[in-house]
A and B are shown apart, each in its own frame.
Chain A
Amino acid sequence: MIVDLTIQGLEMILVLTLAPALTGLVRKVKARLLRRRGPPLLQPYRDLRRLLGKEVVLAENASWLFRGTPYLVLAATWLGASLVPTFTTDLFFSGAADLLVITGLLGSVRFLLALAGMDVGTSFGGIGSSREMMIASLAEPAMLMVVFTLALVAGSTQLSSIAEFLGSSGVGLRVSLGLALVALCMVAIAENARIPVDNPATHLELTMVHEAMILEYSGRHLAVLELAAWIKLLLYISLIGCVFLPWSMASSGAGFMAVAIGAGAYGAKLVAGAFLLALFETTVAKMRVFRVPEFLGASLMLGLLAILLLFLARSL
């Protein structure tokens, strides 16, 4: 019990401390690919420290909801991320939430953020909230199709069970899993407000979605929200890694060496994820908002196709 709790605590700290570095890495790689030098890897940590030390400038008619949202968003995202197995599948809290619950937690986060966007009553806040909810309403069914495919293959929605099952030999390569991987990556891009759905570095107001929602935030509130967004990116990369590259994760009761190997492998997965994301973002252009439904519709179709193929493959 003590060991389990320690591992869970380690995981929480790991997730929190690695998230800014991951975003820093993505930015750095992206800048290098564009032949810029880019900010140093540790810049996100400095940004956090700078923002935390500043005073909050709060809009005159902001309510308690606006002030409470950042902390709730951080807590829910952080908890969600620490429920995804990273270096070990033996997590103390994993019984509290399966993949559907993690999706639900992220849904709660989005709900709060969208409300906070409308709280001050500015047009940009409204545009951000409205578009965020539009994107989410299409991403969620696609996500569910991915969950469904995984549950069909592994017979579980519990992430540690899925990871253990897929990590065991005998699953092999399956077309369905490949389709599900593509679908999940598309959902992850939409959910994390990355190019081509949204642009995390934009300064043109009309193209902003996520940034428009949090436009009125400043100081420590903004710091907390930024951190939450970084953790969310880490969550999705961990999720893809845990489900589709589940190898060398430590299982329950494993020794120190296994845990160390798992941690190393996890680090490698994160670096690979960051590199691929940066590469992808530099090769595509942002799409118009009303082409996003096509993008996410494709993801949903891939998910459905994955399920159909599974049924067919089973019957053959």
Chain B
Amino acid sequence: MSIAPVIAVLWSVAGLLVTAVLAVVVARARGASGAVYCLTITVSAITLIVALAHLFGGGSASRLAMPLGVPWVGSHFRVDALASVFLVVVNLGGFVASLYALGYGRHEPSPERILPFYPAFLAGMNLVVVADDAFTFLVSWEFMSLASWALVMAHHREGDNARAGFIYIVMASAGTLALLLAFGLLAGPEGAYSFDAIRSGRLTPPLTTAVLALVLLGAGSKAGIVPLHVWLPLAHPAAPSHVSALMSGVMTKVATYAFIRIVFDLVGPIEWWWGTVVLVVGGVTAVMGVLHALMQHDLKRLLAYHTVENIGIIFVGLGLALAFRANAMDGAAALAFTAALFHVLNHSVFKSLLFLGSGAVLAATGHRDMDKLGGLIHRMPATSFAFLIGAAAISALPPLNGFVSEWLVFQAILLSPDLPQWDLKILVPAVGALLALSAALAAACFVKAFGVSFLGRPRSPAASVAHETDRFSLAAMLILASLCLLAGVLPGFVIDALAPAAQIGTGAQMPAQSALPWLSIIPVAESRSSYNGLLLFLLVAGVAAISSFAIHRLASGALRRAPAWDCGSPDPDPATQYTAGSFAQPIRRIFGTIVFGARERLHMPPPGDPGPARFEVRMTDAAWEGLYAPLARAVTRVADRLNPFQFLTIRRYLALVLVALVALLALIALRP
């Protein structure tokens, strides 16, 4: 192929932008939604192929400078292996979400509020990944934020959406501000804004610390690390489901990309204790995210909180990589970094799948509340199957892909005793325990999500008459489900494809995996650990099939349908089933008072009163109560104080201007 990857990607971005403009014109026409989504499918597929070809071709950097933007900087674009990995994530997500939207978009009551912004959102995410100077990066970043904000606000009159949009735009702006300041520090007084110049300049420690803190704030708030996550479970579910999939599955990964690009590539060497900061942030984020997810009964909000958990796992991997890299343990750093990237890839696949599934449920029943669902496995068998695969994959169960990346993270954790610092030696096993806790809680959470929504008996009339979703949506979900299985049973190829990206981040690679006998993966040494997902999958499937066949053949195959047993007293009312709240009750009792400040209240009617007893639980997000509510109150107070300045007479305004001018002049005069 003669055309350079960066040029191909930029043409794709141009195509997406043209599509966005076209969509403004034709949005209300019949068939507009089909046309727009067909265009985005095509463009995403082409970019996906370009990125994959680039990645498997070794991922050498391909760059381009254009005379756009700020005159003395221009705009620079570059596609290297790291960018390619994230281009794959973005465009795979874009491709599948667009395919899904071909069917799902038909239900859309006001397509003109979505169609223009959707391609723009995709274009913004692609641009962030290929940007190679600070201006281009920040402009693309803000473009991505605003386009996604417009999509969150698509149905602004529904429920809490307007509030979600407001909180999102405030958090996104704050995040961009932090990144802006970080790039300002990186560029230094000479204003070296291209990434090449930033790389060659070296920062001194206090400034490095400031940059890292700002990046953790800026990129972390977009990715959803605790306590900057509060906007995420509000905004992601508010958007239409294919956009939720993109926001949760892909945009959080673009934020992770920003973190990786700046911290691992641009800043240069970093002290080891930054590893501990990132590790602690990651571990806390993982556990808090999954605990909050467990308490939800809104399916899409549960999934959004789960994104927080997975971002935590990714940050644990990155923190380990930082710690290992600072101690010149290159092999271990490459392992941790590859594990983090693998999880980025995996999460984008199964989180998109789960959001698309929840969208199918929403379209079929009109409910997001799990306590109004149930029994959908009979009404929507294919959707249920795909959702089940996604749920098992996100719960890190073998032989699916989520298990492999978490297994790799654990292998990296097990290398931590060789670290020289005592803090890290003690901290890393504790973070490992947090990670194991979050993995087990994730399994509990998805037993709840799948069990309450898809199994049991229908809890509402809408759920009992639901119909299977359309074939485009099904195709999209089944593609993602098969990717979950493929990446799980053939992880060696994924690891090898990620090797050039690990080279950029850590200066080392994991040993080549795909050529190993039997397609096993061996991250460190054969005597240490190995895993063979394909063999495991084939054995379990084979043994299950053979035993089932043998038992039906040799013993008995007789079967009779009868009412449920339920210890002899089945109740026909579907309200007697376990609900989302009751399923999570034991875990709420264990962690509730500490983590959520849960208050339970029981209203018993007085003796003789036949009225029902009522049980109430109140839970609060500690981050909200402890951090944001005081902040918001402070802003309100200051605003109230400043309010009188709006209602002055013209003389007083002129006097104020004069005073300000004199004060400034005095300042200049006093300072040499």
Contacts and interface: CB of A to CB of B under 8 A. Distances in A.
A136 interface: yes
Interface residues of B, number: 89
B42 interface: no
A111 B528 contact: no
A58 to B, nearest CB: 5
Contact of A129 (B378, B447, B560): B447
Interface in A85-129: 93, 95-98, 100-101, 104-105, 107-108, 110-111, 114-115, 117-127, 129
A237 interface: no
State which size class the interface on A falls in.
35 or more
Nearest to A152: B417
A308 to B, nearest CB: 7
Interface string B565-588: 111001100101110001111110
B295 to A, nearest CB: 13
A46 interface: no
A151 interface: yes
A300 B433 CA distance: 9
Tell me what chain B mostly uses at the interface: helix, strand, loop, or mixed: helix
Interface in B74-95: none
A76 B528 CA distance: 23
Given A95-B532, A107-B443, A136-B444, A126 B564 contact: no
B457 A52 contact: no
A283 B527 CA distance: 41
Nearest to A130: B583
Given A59-B562, A136-B440, A137-B587, A52 B556 contact: yes
Contacts of B375: 61, 121
A157 B529 contact: yes
Given A59-B565, A119-B455, A148-B414, A104 B443 contact: no
A65 B396 contact: no
Contact of A133 (B444, B520, B539): B444
A259 B499 CA distance: 43
A52 B561 CA distance: 17
A27 interface: no
B566 A75 contact: no
B594 to A, nearest CB: 12
Contacts of A139: 440
Contacts of A215: 565-567
B583 A111 contact: no
A123 B528 contact: no
Interface stretch (A32-40, A194-202, A216-224, A273-281): A216-224
Contacts of A290: 586, 589-590
Given A76-B540, A115-B450, A137-B444, A108 B520 contact: no
Nearest to A135: B586
B544 interface: yes
Interface in A71-90: 71-72, 74-76, 78-79
Interface of A: 52-61, 63-65, 68, 71-72, 74-76, 78-79, 93, 95-98, 100-101, 104-105, 107-108, 110-111, 114-115, 117-127, 129-131, 133-134, 136-141, 143-145, 148, 151-152, 155-158, 161, 205, 215-216, 218-220, 223-224, 289-290, 293, 300, 303-304, 307-308, 311
9 contacts: A71-B544, A76-B540, A79-B540, A104-B398, A110-B443, A118-B452, A121-B456, A134-B587, A220-B556
Given A121-B457, A123-B577, 15 more contacts: A53-B556, A54-B558, A55-B558, A58-B562, A60-B563, A76-B540, A95-B532, A114-B451, A126-B456, A133-B448, A144-B436, A148-B414, A161-B528, A219-B559, A307-B429
Interface of B: 374-375, 377-378, 381, 388, 392, 395-398, 403, 407, 410-411, 413-414, 417, 425-426, 429-430, 432-434, 436-437, 439-441, 443-444, 446-448, 450-452, 455-457, 518, 520, 526-532, 535-536, 539-545, 547-548, 551-552, 555-556, 558-567, 570-571, 574, 576-578, 582-587, 589-590
Give 8 closest A-B pairs by Cβ, nearest first: A126-B578, A121-B456, A55-B558, A118-B451, A133-B444, A140-B440, A75-B543, A52-B555
